Amino acid sequence: MTSTCTASCGPLARQHSAPRATRLSSLSAAPCSPAACFRQTALAPRLQRPACGSAARRVAAAPRAEQQQGEIKRNTEFGYSRKDVMLIGGGLTGAGFALYYGLQATGMEPGFAGNWAQLIIFMGLTFGWVGSYLWRVATKQMTYVKQLEEYEEAVMRKRLEEMPEGEIDRMLSEVESEKEAREAKRQQRQQQP
């Protein structure tokens, strides 16, 4: 007897003792194979999918799904789209050909010109990539740092939304008094020669 994969996940599919009619969702029953399991879990509605993993993962995934339903942010910087990648690849290939034929035009043999062109392009890419990585580390523009900043900002925004109006007014007055105190200290320092 073959079992269905409606309540299992991955290669360790388990056989189920529940009657076949209760195991099936609105989809038709498929024999227990990795392709059928994947198809059935991917096509089933989210609420009817089996529990694959811990409950904590399912709970943690819920806010992310709500967040994704809102506004989608796309990175518009150069180098982050397919078109940009194609342009970069075409530019590097064109630079290699130009260097190869340029070295031949200066009188270098084709074999040596090819070797030098490959060496120059490879070393340029290597030093360029390592240099860009070190620059991103030095300026803290790495993916992890950006994600951490966005997370901290979202947490603070959520806390601010949940805070009562009286608490917000009290905090704003404290901030204003601290600003005034700092300004007064700064003015005192400027007056003392």
Reported as a single tens digit per residue, the pLDDT across 106-127 is: 999 999 999 999 999 999 999 9
1 and 37 inside one domain:
yes
Q: What is the pLDDT of residues 22-73, one digit of tens each?
A: 444 444 444 455 555 555 555 554 444 444 544 444 444 445 545 555 677 7
- In this structure, the number of other CB atoms found within 10 A of the CB of residue 123 comes to 10
152 and 113 inside one domain:
no
2 and 43 inside one domain:
yes
* CA 49 – CA 15 distance, rounded (Å): 16
- Residue 183 is predicted with a pLDDT of 93
Split into its structural domains, the chain has a count of 3
* CA 193 – CA 190 distance, rounded (Å): 7
The model's confidence at residue 76, banded by pLDDT at 50, 70 and 90, is confident
103 close to 120: Cβ distance less than 8 angstroms: no
Higher pLDDT, 13 or 185: 185
- In this structure, the number of other CB atoms found within 10 A of the CB of residue 98 comes to 11
Own/partner long-range contacts of 117-120 (Cβ < 8 Å, ≥24 apart): none
Does 135 reside within a domain? no
* CA 7 – CA 48 distance, rounded (Å): 10
Does 98 reside within a domain? yes
- Residue 10 is predicted with a pLDDT of 44
Does 75 reside within a domain? no
42 and 12 inside one domain:
yes
112 and 148 inside one domain:
no
- Residue 69 is predicted with a pLDDT of 58
Tokens standing for residue 12 = 């360790």
187 close to 180: Cβ distance less than 8 angstroms: no
126 and 148 inside one domain:
no
Is 8's pLDDT higher than 80? no
- Residue 79 is predicted with a pLDDT of 81
156 and 120 inside one domain:
no
119 and 157 inside one domain:
no
8 and 45 inside one domain:
yes
Does 54 reside within a domain? no
Does 138 reside within a domain? no
Q: What is the pLDDT of residues 130-188, one digit of tens each?
A: 999 999 889 888 888 888 999 999 999 999 889 899 998 999 999 999 999 999 999 98
Q: Which residue has the tokens 């992310």?
A: 64
148 and 178 inside one domain:
yes
- In this structure, the number of other CB atoms found within 10 A of the CB of residue 19 comes to 8
- Residue 68 is predicted with a pLDDT of 52
50 by Cβ neighbours in 10 Å (0-12 / 13-18 / 19+) ranks as: middle
- Residue 28 is predicted with a pLDDT of 45
Return the C-alpha torsion angle 79, 81, 84, 90, nearest 10.
110
Does 155 reside within a domain? yes
Does 95 reside within a domain? yes
* CA 180 – CA 186 distance, rounded (Å): 10
120 and 148 inside one domain:
no
Does 13 reside within a domain? yes
Domain of residue 34, residue span: 1-49
